[in-house]
Amino acid sequence: LAHLPTLDGIEAARAPFKSHKWTSEPLLARAANPNAPEAVENPADSGDSPGTVASASEEDIETALTYAAPWNAPAEERKAILNKVADLYEENFGQLFALLAREAGKSMPDAVAELREAVDFLRYYGANIPDAAPVGTFTCISPWNFPLAIFTGQISAALAAGNAVLSKPAEQTPLISHFAISLMHQAGVPKAALQLLPGAGSVGAALTSDPRVDGVAFTGSTATAMKIRAAMAENLAPGAPLIAETGGLNAMIVDSTALPEQAVQAIVESAFQSAGQRCSALRCLYVQEDIAKPFIQMLTGAMDALSVGQPWQLSTDCGPVIDELAWSGIAVHIQTARSEGRLMHEIATPNSGRFIAPTLIRVNGIGDMKREIFGPVLHVATFKSQELDKIIGDINATGYGLTFGLMTRIDDRVQHVTEAVGAGNIYVNRNQIGAIVGSQPFGGEGLSGTGPKAGGPNYLTRYTARPATQSEDPWTQTMATDSLGK
Ligand code: UN1
């Protein structure tokens, strides 16, 4: 019964959508001259703000670094406290959902999935506490697109291993981090082992270039990961671990034997859930030429059934994109495609707010895509059967390797294609998002991340003090040969 939501929780789920105001501050005593609180934006409603955030000042960062102390409680106690945090997340689901909707623009189904993933991370890492010393002090830099799940995943892994954590959440989503960290403290994580330092990139830069930091977990863009890598190499102790999950240019191949209904559903989910704002999302769809016409007709029909709208409406499939910068970048991309006659389909969107209609854009192949478009935009190419290996070559040539999807009923082809494509998460005859903690760990290859996979058996070892050998650090090589971020 302890896990059932309380009536308060249900009421809390309703009220905060419109009225509640949260504040987020660094969770230690503030420095003498703190930064002034600023309004946080609601991505779906520019007239609304869910609360205020006071960014960490230089003095706050200095205090946090001085005060940080590894969590040296016995493993059993750490496990019990992480499980208690999971319980508190479940009990406070109303506030967490409200924040996911109002601060991050998450639709209700996306928010439910995210809360579940966060709870899964806490219980999984709690159940797998490594028998080794911690690295020391870990900086955890988390993204706005999973402001609860990835944020909690990084922190709970670092804490399970006994590290001190300095958390720098995404600039767009400080309030949910603040609330979640308050729950962690309430459950018994010591304040010196877990400190929140909200702010912009400069806060992250300070927390990844100070020699008192011993390791960094980062999820975000490949370019930022490379800057962090360089700053760590210059300032941190040699061998300090960087655990990075970064971008992708994810493809799916649908051949003429695929079950069309299954493929269409998988594509709609993979490209448009979370408004396409997942690094795992499908970006480039290859459809075999023989079936392309009727297949794309089915796909556009399924798109027409999607509803774009306010996150807290239960009918919403696709909420807003995160901010003005994201919105304008995607809008320009769609406008360019329109002017070049490559727009294949788009659906209606609300007139105001930062909404982008799920859109199809024609491309010749993944090579036409210069960068990851982080929104509900799917690029479509066709291929002839004899071109299969060429496409696989093109997909691998992007240098990324996060997710890949294959829709076919030919067994030999499953084996051939899944062996030939270099991607961390390969999915056959299903959607290519929504990895599951424990049973389907998530992580990329090449420019998409350093590994090990989050929610998998090797992840926690990188948060423990072991001498890292060259072969355990595959990114050293990748970084040396690629040209991004230089
Ligand atoms: C991300 O979008 O930053 O499998 C990664 C999935 C999620 C992806 C998270 N775990 O769809």
Number of C-beta neighbours around residue 162 at 10 A: 24
Judged by average pLDDT, the poorest of 35-39, 181-185, 247-251 is: 35-39
CA of 443 relative to ligand 1 center, distance in Å: 8
Catalytic residue among 140, 279, 284, 318: 279
3-state DSSP assignment of residue 362: strand
Q: Which atom of ligand 1 is nearest to the CA of 278?
A: 2
Average pLDDT over residues 429-440: 97
CA of 37 relative to ligand 1 center, distance in Å: 31
> What pLDDT shows up at residue 350?
77
Q: What is the mean pLDDT of the chain?
A: 91
Pocket test for ligand 1, best of 249, 280, 440 (most atoms within 8 A of CB): 280
For the cut 90, the answer to whether the pLDDT of residue 473 exceeds it is: no
CA of 154 relative to ligand 1 center, distance in Å: 13
Please confirm, yes or no, whether 279 is among the known catalytic residues.
Answer: yes
For the cut 70, the answer to whether the pLDDT of residue 432 exceeds it is: yes
Nearest one of 461, 415, 421, 471 to 445, comparing CA atoms = 421
- The protein residue whose alpha carbon is closest to atom 7 in ligand 1 is 434
For the cut 70, the answer to whether the pLDDT of residue 452 exceeds it is: yes
For the cut 80, the answer to whether the pLDDT of residue 237 exceeds it is: yes
Average pLDDT over residues 33-42: 85
Helices (H), 219-288: 222-235, 260-272
- Residues 97-118 pLDDT 10s: 999 999 999 999 999 999 999 9
Q: pTM of the full predicted structure?
A: 0.92
For the cut 90, the answer to whether the pLDDT of residue 127 exceeds it is: yes
Q: Which atom of ligand 1 is nearest to the CA of 277?
A: 2
Number of C-beta neighbours around residue 237 at 10 A: 12
Please confirm, yes or no, whether 11 is among the known catalytic residues.
Answer: no
Average pLDDT over residues 433-443: 96
CA of 66 relative to ligand 1 center, distance in Å: 33
> What pLDDT shows up at residue 27?
61
CA of 434 relative to ligand 1 center, distance in Å: 6
Q: Which residues does a 6 A CB cutoff place in the pocket of ligand 1?
A: 143, 145-146, 150, 219, 278-280, 433-435, 442
CA of 375 relative to ligand 1 center, distance in Å: 14
Phi-psi region of 190 (alpha: psi -120 to 50; beta: other; left: phi over 0): beta
Nearest one of 240, 289, 277, 241 to 107, comparing CA atoms = 277
- The protein residue whose alpha carbon is closest to atom 1 in ligand 1 is 279
Strand partners, 38: 53
- Residues 325-349 pLDDT 10s: 999 999 999 999 999 999 999 998 8
> What pLDDT shows up at residue 29?
53
| Segment of 3-7, 27-31, 368-372, 402-406 carrying the highest mean pLDDT | 402-406
- The protein residue whose alpha carbon is closest to atom 6 in ligand 1 is 434
- The protein residue whose alpha carbon is closest to atom 10 in ligand 1 is 435
Strand order in the sheet with 377-383: 343-346, 359-362, 377-383, 282-288, 250-254, 403-407, 425-428
Catalytic residue among 41, 90, 245, 346: 245
| Cα separation, 213 vs 210, whole angstroms | 6
- ipTM of this complex prediction, to 2 decimal places: 0.95
3-state DSSP assignment of residue 213: coil
Phi, psi of 167 (to 5 degrees): -100, 125
Return all residues near 279 (Cβ < 8 A) that are at least 6 apart: 145, 219, 245, 246, 247, 248, 372, 402, 444, 448
Q: Which atom of ligand 1 is nearest to the CA of 279?
A: 2
For the cut 80, the answer to whether the pLDDT of residue 475 exceeds it is: no
Q: Which atom of ligand 1 is nearest to the CA of 454?
A: 10
Structure letter (DSSP) for residue 162: T
| Cα separation, 195 vs 213, whole angstroms | 13
Pocket test for ligand 1, best of 114, 146, 448 (most atoms within 8 A of CB): 146
* Residue 10 buriedness (CB in 10 A; 0-12 / 13-18 / 19+): exposed
For the cut 70, the answer to whether the pLDDT of residue 10 exceeds it is: no
CA of 402 relative to ligand 1 center, distance in Å: 10
